[in-house]
Amino acid sequence: MTSIRCRAQTFEAEHPEEFLMNVLLILPILIPMLTAVLALLLQKSRSTQRAVSSIGAWTLFAAAAWLVVDVWRNGIQAAQMGNWPAPYGITLVADLFSAVMVLLAGIIAAAVGMYSLVSVDAQREEFGYHSLYHFLLMGVCGAFLTGDLFNLYVWFEVMLMASFVLMALGGERGQMEGAIKYVTLNLISSALFLSALGLLYAIAGTLNMADLAYKFSDVSASQHPGLMTTLAILFMLAFGIKAAVFPLFFWLPASYHTPPVAVSALFAGLLTKVGVYALIRVFTLIFLQDVGYTHSLILVIAGLTMVSGVLGAVAQYDFRRLLSFHIISQIGYALMGLGIFTASALGGAVFFIFHVSIAKASLFLVSGVAQRLYRTCDLKRLGGLYQTQPMLAALFLVSAMSLAGIPPFSGFFAKLGLVKAGLDTGQHVIVAVALGVSLLTLFSMLKIWGEAFWKPIPDQSGTTGGLSGVRLSNWLFPIAILSAISVVLGLGAGPAFNFALQAGEQLMDPSLYIQAVLGGAP
Amino acid sequence: MTSLILRTTTRYLTPLLLIFSVFLFLRGHNQPGGGFAGGLVAAAPFALFSIAFGAAEARRVLQVEPRWLIGVGLLAALASGVIGLLGGYPFLTGTWGYLKLPGFGVLDIGTPLFFDLGVYLAVIGVTLSIIFALEEAE
Amino acid sequence: MEVILAFVIGGLFALAIYMLLRRSLVKLLIGLALLSHAANLLIFTAAKLTRGRPPVIGMETAALEPPFADPLPQALILTAIVISFGVMAFALALAFRAYRSVGTDDLDQMQSTDV
Amino acid sequence: MMLAISVLSGFGLAFAAPILSRRFGRAAGWILALLPAGLTLYFIGLLPSAAAARPAAFSAPWAPDLGLVFSFRADGLGLLFALLISGIGALVVTYTGGYLKGNPNLGKFYAWLLVFMAAMLGVALADNMILLFVFWELTSISSYILIGFEHERASARAAALQAFLVTGGGGLALLAGLLLLGSAGGTLELSALLGQGDVLRASPFYFPAVLLILLGAFTKSAQFPFHFWLPNAMEAPTPVSAYLHSATMVKAGIYLLARLGPVLNGTDVWVYAVGGVGAATMLVGGYLALSQTDLKRLLAYSTVSALGMLTLLIGLGSPHALEAAIVLLLAHGLYKGALFLVAGALDHETGTRDITQLGGLFSAMKLTAIAGGIAALSMAGLPPLFGFLSKELTYEAALEFGPWLAGAVVLAGLSFVFVAGVVGVGPFWGKQKQTPKSPHEAPLSMWLGPAILAGLSLLLGIFPNSISRFLISPAASGAIGESTSVKLALWHGVNPAFVLSVATILIGAGLFAARHPIRSGLSRFAWRWGPSFFYDRSLDALNALARGQTRLLQSGYLRFYLFAIILTVTGLAGFTLFTRGGLPVPVAVSEVRFYEAALALLILLAAFVATVSWSRLGAVAALGVAGYGVALIYLLFGAPDLAMTQFLIESLTVILFVLAFYHLPHFAQLSSRTARVRDGLIALLAGGLMTSLVLSAVDAQLHPSISGYFVENALPLAHGRNIVNVILVDFRGIDTMGEITVLGIAAIGVYALLKLHTDRKKDKKGGGE
């Protein structure tokens, strides 16, 4: 009565490696989705939710690690969703950059997930915290893996919607005020992205990024140079808002410190990085018509972002707000690599993004412990942590020095790569800015150190009774994992940077990407 | 708001709208319609119910928790994609079968329809959770 | 017609932005709604208009004869409409909640988290 | 391999130090000192091979893509520093055991001291310049932690911060300089670079590279005008002052200058920048030392002066000057280290380091006094001590460059004599004064260090040739860049240098005798406008700038954020469009029908009403009309699915708005007229941009759409006739999966927002049903 058949119009998907590829590329999206849905369906039981959430996060990490290994061994991987050939269906693509970003998401998911279990209150959990957490990861991983520009928009929205809710979950007044700004400004970005997409489709008739790259690589793009460059600028600004670059970053300092610390850490580690990822992706693949103009502009934005972000941080006297402004400043460094636009600069940027996400998430988690102990994030009211919490102090120092670019931690190598690339290409101004900002970063990190750790406890009202010894280790363990990665990335900078450099070389050669997605010449 | 006319209309409209929604959903693959529009139409009577009789009553009529519908809908969409994956094909690869039904002729039944069913359920769940929540807000 | 719609799109964007710049939270929401109309209409118009002929293959035929409206932008807009509906619903709830906790819908009163 | 291990062993022991300290208590200092002592012996063992120009070396990759190689090389210059570091390190670690006895943080202190030692060894022995920089920064951070050891005091925290910022800032310049040097010379290995002198001097990067490197060296070695951090760093416990801020770390800059001198010196830039700054530092430090009453600050300024003298000698760059620099380096390390430790012992045993309160302690602290006295005599340059030799050589080298320079060096020499007297003689002789604690002899651990250092000053002075072949000559060869053999002798005969030497001692002794009037006289000329003042002001300025910028940008007004974003987008996109020739060419692509135009007008009108309406319901109704209008457009142009969805969504949105309006306030006039006009203009500008973009894009199709594929394959392969639906559920199904996910999340969000308030307070307003 019924018969079952599958489509197989372009290739026979019978080779095991193709099967593996199809599975590996979708897993980082499916795992969080399944986890989120299960958490949603199991909302009645808090303990089951927590278990599902942890398993989901670690599975994501494992899948991501597997993906990285696979891409490292076999080159750029692509899978055609629905088995529709590119550019008609939606392609998922993983080059080294994508894969390593997914791995980053996996690491942050696992570490912050553990931290969530001890730090997020039961009420938020009952109202879907774990579900939202994994929906956010789903959006983030989707954005990293998709090879389709409109699909990127969809993943952005998944991620944003989840972040909106996570930010507002709890309904505290500060959260509301922060969320309104966060939501409004990000919706502007979405509208801009959508409009730019519409215009791009009108011109190119396609949405597949590899196809766009292929179509724009020939001379036809030069027929409308002004329009093409303007479109590039629109995308730059739309992604720029999400990446929180100068002068579009306002939503970030207004909101990042308002939700629970685990949420801040998750956002700090991943969200703006998706914006940077998108910028790097489209400005190494698609918008290469007027590099002299667009990439110089990116360089200018990078410099201004670094400076204005770090000045914002210097002005703060609140642990988390200070860290929030630093996120902006660090985005500048990642863009610096894109603006310089050489393989080593992009490699530096990849390394930098990875490093800074880890360090930043770790610092936010540290701030959470401080907040838990003293019920405040105001540096003026914190103190004495160096004596009372030596382990926390050590972990903070690792991440803070890493962020400030002090060797031998990961941040030094990230900045070294960027500075070297800048000097090699004669971009002395941005190098000077990068180094100067690095000093100010150090300054503001030392401010936290001096105030929260070294300074004696200002008054006796701050109690340290919030956490007992056993439970504190649960708070510190995720931080220790992240700090350990900072150290390992530093001491093992040789292979790590070599990996990043290869990712940079892949980015600089769009034909590899196009080949992987479209096969031979389409 | 809770006028008699509205209450009465709601009672009579509900089955009609539900049938129409299934119709919209089923024909969606070939004619304008589909899971999304169908889902919205299916949600309409319950939304009317909640306006006419209050959210608690509407929840009682619906019998399932709307958020559960969301989860099930998403799960269905996901499952329809995984079927292709298990066969060694990429995620969401369509798998089709024929169903000979007396009177309808040959019907193509495939995972994309199952996917659309997920959309249908999720949309009902979403719409109703939002409306009920707004109704119940103090 | 594209030219006229281009001006409609520009007008919608302008009105949306004007509303976004108001101090009232509710007006901001209306601005967001207008913004999504503008963006959707932009996709629709930029991809060229085709009068009448929907991209549906008739029940008796096996193929669609040109000219017909481009189906892809329609699918994109559909997705975008639905997404912006979700966002809108959330934004409304957010406005409601914010009004409850701040006690006003004047955005200028909501700056405690910035400086 | 052993070389690398010798450098890194300190890091390893640092981790164990807190445990050992707890386990062995008072004996821990002696146990931990075994490592530096052993290293000293190991480095002595390496001297012959260095002297034979076959230095021990080690190389392994670290991050080769970044030019970072884990390479070490133990030549004469490096070994001289390494010996100072490990030798004095051993004594300081021992000393610490006595000095900080019973301090609960002693374990951490040992740890950071060992980290510092290892890092400093790395600086001295690294062959790769980036590796050198890595260790360089590690010395800065360990110095930071150690200066701030007594972190309960605000002054200690401030001093630590100051030292880190100054040296860290210089460090960043140094990094850039080293990288430039590397790219000019084509290698980052010092050993390879040293043969590239002519290439480097001819490179366009020479000038910036030298300036940046000097900035790094000068900040680290406390050269004028960056010297101010060093006296402030005396907030650190005395072992730190003796070790880091006198004997070793501050000499890292000197080491770098000496190391790079052979390839960089000989140009005007080098001579004037290095020599000039060195001379200025020497004089300023010497002068400022005179008026100090705090023992440690006095020694610190005197250290600044000595560092300046070293820099001056390296700047002069002649073989004699460089030989003098090497000898001075060693002599200074020995006597100044001893004097600091003596000062620490005095502080520890009497409770004060104010020299006006110290006197007549010889009988109470004989051993300390003898060690301090010998060190002081060496510092003053009296024969037969090693300091005398060093002074002779310095004077000789200066005399080669003329009387002015010799005069300047003599002035600094006078200050040395003065300081030597104040520290090594003043506290022990004369009338005994009342001190906070009743003085008695320091414990063995605390007098052993000064005694050994003072003893070495004496031994090396009497038998200078014992070290000239294996230590001084190889080191000097490294600084000069070619093999040299230094002959050291106590007695050179009566020559101009000797005459100056004698004069220095006599006049210096006279100054010392008149120390009280000199001090009170000078203290009236307190240097208020010094660099320290500028450091404070620039920190203030930075903070003010940061606050100002943040207040301007992050104002808290959402409207201003929107302004900035919209203006940026409009401005940047508009500018690009207009300057890059993307202006629209208005073409009527398809003809206009009357009802369509009317519909367009209706949409605009409805949207307009929605914006200006005074009633909320009116606005929402108008919004709905605009939405239905858009739906009609979709219907007219072949998009029935779209139209249906838009109709449904629009209705639902209106319902949601109305439901929400129960709980939301009425519109109020909040903006002024000017604000509205301004906003209107911005809005029009942005709208205009979008119109132009649409007009340009409509006319600019470069490639046909890919839609043909969907039309062809929808029925045969995807079994659907409604192509839009097939795209949604099949061709681009994953989009739809994302879309319903967004909806699901939104629903969770609405539910949570309306039901969960963790800071819930009962408010009576509103109420839905």
pLDDT tens digits along A302-320: 999 999 999 999 999 999 9
Closest-CA distance of chain B to residue A41, Å:
6
For an interface test with B, the pick among A3, A15, A29, A37 (most B C-beta atoms closer than 10 Å) comes out as A37
Neighbours of chain D (3+ CB pairs under 8 A): A, B, C
Judging by beta carbons within 10 Å of its beta carbon (0-12, 13-18, 19+), is residue A79 exposed, middle or buried?
A: buried
| Residue range A318-344, pLDDT digits in tens | 999 999 999 999 999 999 999 999 999
Residue ranges of alpha helices (H) inside A205-315 are 209-217, 225-243, 251-255, 261-285, 291-315
Residue B106: predicted pLDDT: 67
Q: What are the backbone angles phi and psi of residue C56, rounded to the nearest 5°?
A: -125, 130
Inform me whether the pLDDT recorded for A16 exceeds 60.
Answer: yes
From first to last of the 138 residues of chain B, give the pLDDT tens digit: 457 777 788 778 888 889 999 888 888 888 888 889 999 999 988 988 888 888 888 888 888 889 999 999 999 999 999 988 888 888 988 888 777 766 666 667 888 889 999 999 999 999 999 999 888 876
pLDDT of D90 above 90: yes
pLDDT digits (tens, 9 = 90+) for D352-393: 888 888 888 888 888 999 999 999 999 999 888 999 999 999
| Domain locations in chain C as residue ranges | 2-51+66-106
In the predicted model, is pLDDT for residue D741 greater than 90?
Answer: yes
**Range in A68-82, D54-68, D479-493 the model is least confident about:** D479-493
Report how far residue A141's alpha carbon sits from residue A106's, in angstroms, rounded to the nearest whole number.
9
Collect all residues of chain C within an 8 Å Cβ-Cβ radius of residue A195: 38-39, 42-43
CB-CB: which of B36, B130, B134 is closest to C82? B36
Is A161 in contact with D749 (CB distance < 8 Å)? yes
Q: Report, as an integer, the average pLDDT of C28-49.
A: 93
Confidence (pLDDT) at D456: 94
Q: Identify the CATH number of the domain defined by range C2-51+66-106.
A: 1.10.287.3510
Look at residue D762 in the predicted model and tell me its pLDDT: 39
Terminal CA-CA length for chain B: 17
| Chain pair A-C, CB pairs under 8 angstroms | 104
Q: What is the structure's pLDDT at A1?
A: 38
Q: What percent of chain A has pLDDT over 70?
A: 93
**pLDDT over threshold 80, residue D130:** yes
Q: Computed from CA positions of residues D504, D506, D510, D513, in that sequence, does the dihedral angle turn out positive or negative?
A: positive
Contact C46 A184 (CB under 8 A): no
Give the integer Cα–Cα distance in Å for A149 and A90: 9
- From chain A, the residues in CB contact with D178 under 8 A are none
Q: Is C14 on the interface with B (CB under 8 A)?
A: no
Residues on chain B touching D741 (C-beta within 8 angstroms): 74
> Which residues of chain C does D714 touch, with a Cβ-Cβ cutoff of 8 Å?
57
Q: Is the pLDDT of residue D767 over 50?
A: no
Q: Is the pLDDT of residue C103 over 90?
A: no
Q: What pLDDT digit, counting tens, does each position of A21-37 carry?
A: 889 999 999 999 999 99
Question: Running DSSP on this structure, what letter comes out for residue A148?
Answer: B
- What is the pLDDT at residue B62? 86
Return contacts of D727-730, CB within 8 angstroms, 24+ apart: D727/C71, D727/C72, D727/C75, D728/B34, D728/B36, D728/C75, D728/C78, D728/C79, D729/B29, D729/B34, D729/B35, D729/B112, D729/B113, D729/B115, D729/B116, D729/B119, D730/A82, D730/A84, D730/B92, D730/B94, D730/B112, D730/B115
Check CB contact under 8 Å for A5 and B92: no
Q: How far apart are the CA of B9 and the nearest CA of chain A, in angstroms?
A: 34
**Tokens (6 digits) for C12:** 């919608």
Share of chain D above pLDDT 70, in %: 97
Touching D: C residues 7-46, CB under 8 Å: 7-30, 33-34, 37-38, 40-42, 44-46
pLDDT band at A20 (very low <50, low <70, confident <90, very high): confident
What is the rounded distance in angstroms from the CA atom of residue B101 to the CA atom of residue D12? 79
Alpha-carbon gap: A311 to the closest alpha carbon of chain C (Å): 13
Contact D729 B113 (CB under 8 A): yes
What is the number of other CB atoms lying within 10 angstroms of the CB of residue B12?
10
D638–C50 CB contact, under 8 Å: yes
DSSP SS3 for D629:
helix
CA distance C78 to D642: 6
Mean of pLDDT values over D211-217: 96
Summarised one tens digit per residue, pLDDT across range D339-361 is: 999 999 999 888 888 888 888 88
**What tokens were used for A436?**
């100067």
- Mean pLDDT for all residues in chain C: 89
The 10s digit of each residue's pLDDT in D224-279 is 899 999 999 999 999 999 999 988 999 999 999 999 999 998 888 899 999 999 99
CB A339 within 8 A of CB A275: no
* Distance in angstroms (rounded) separating the CA atoms of residues D620 and A387: 60
Q: Residue C115 contacts by C-beta under 8 Å, 6 or more apart in sequence?
A: D550, D551, D554, D555, D556
The residue type at D425: V
- Across residues D318-324, what is the average pLDDT? 93
- The whole-number pLDDT of residue D587 equals 64
* Contact (CB<8Å) D737/B138: no
Q: Which residues are CB-neighbours of D193 under 8 A, at least 6 positions away? A: D129, D181, D182, D185, D187, D200, D263
pLDDT of residue D41: 95
Query: Minimal Cα distance from C56: which residue of B?
Result: B31
Residue A73 neighbours by CB under 8 Å, 6+ apart: none
* Interface contact C24-D667, CB threshold 8 A: yes
Residue type for position D68:
L
Kindly state the helix (H) or strand (E) to which residue B95 belongs, with its residue range: strand B95-101
Best D595, D685, D691 residue to mutate vs chain C (most C CBs within 10 Å):
D691
Per-residue pLDDT tens digits for A427-483: 999 999 999 999 999 999 999 999 999 999 887 554 554 555 557 888 999 999 999
Confidence tier at D769 by pLDDT (50, 70, 90): very low
